[in-house]
Copies of this chain bind each other. A is one copy, B any other.
Amino acid sequence: MSEVALDDIDRGILFLLQNDARNITIAEIAEGVNVAASTVRNRIEDMEENGVIEGYSPKIDYEKANYPLHVLFVCSASANEREKLAAGILDQHGVVDVREMLTSKRNIYVEVVATDTRDLTEITNEFTSIGFSIESSEIITNHYTRPWAEFEFEEAEN
């Protein structure tokens, strides 16, 4: 299996990065998890190389950025094309997030932001033209994420 053994230091680093991946310094992380800065640097490099960390991105409030519509489309793609289509759909206008599910139907969940119904219609026309069947649409009103408590670093007392 391609899994990686993370220890408490790795998890503590991930937790602090989840708080503010852009502005926190190596030194601050080192202080937070109580190891040397060089260790933090190595651990981050390792996690980037083995793929535990896939990248860093800003969390954007699309509604504030003038995309008043945030919709989740549950789509079906045929089993053999599913993986290819799921990856490719990211290039489509309006798509911000794609999840692939295990079943043969309702197996691709696509999150879309749009300006109005006309914009949504164009986006969904593109979906169906590449072979997706749109099973249902759900209007998203809120989206929450958080630094993950499981990763929080708790130093052993002594």
The interface of chain A, by Cβ under 8 A from chain B, is 1-6, 14, 17-23, 50-61, 63-66, 68-72, 79-80, 83, 86-87, 90-91, 93-94, 96-106, 109, 115-118, 120-121, 124-125, 128-129, 132-150
| Contact (Cβ within 8 A) A140 B104 | no
B116 touches A1 (CB 8 A): yes
A18 and B143 within 8 A (CB): no
In-complex Cβ contact of A124 among B19, B54, B102 (8 A):
B102
Residue in B20, B68, B109 whose CB lies within 8 Å of A72: B109
**CB<8 Å pairs between A and B, sample of 30:** A4-B65, A4-B66, A17-B57, A18-B60, A20-B56, A51-B61, A51-B64, A54-B58, A54-B59, A56-B56, A57-B147, A63-B117, A63-B118, A69-B117, A71-B139, A72-B109, A79-B133, A80-B129, A83-B142, A86-B142, A86-B144, A93-B149, A98-B143, A101-B138, A102-B134, A102-B140, A102-B141, A103-B137, A104-B135, A139-B139
A85 to B: closest C-beta gap in Å = 11
Please state if B145 and A97 are interface contacts (CB–CB under 8 Å): yes
Chain A interface helix/strand/loop/mixed: mixed
Given A21-B56, A70-B117, A149-B93: A139 and B101 within 8 A (CB)?
Answer: yes
Q: How far is the CB of A118 from chain B (nearest CB, A)?
A: 7
User: In whole angstroms, what is the CA distance A133 to B105 when docked?
Assistant: 8
Known contacts A63-B117, A86-B144, A117-B140, then 16 further A-B pairs from the complex at CB < 8 Å, ordered by chain A residue: A1-B116, A14-B65, A21-B56, A53-B58, A54-B58, A56-B56, A57-B145, A72-B99, A79-B128, A80-B129, A87-B142, A100-B141, A101-B139, A102-B139, A137-B137, A139-B139
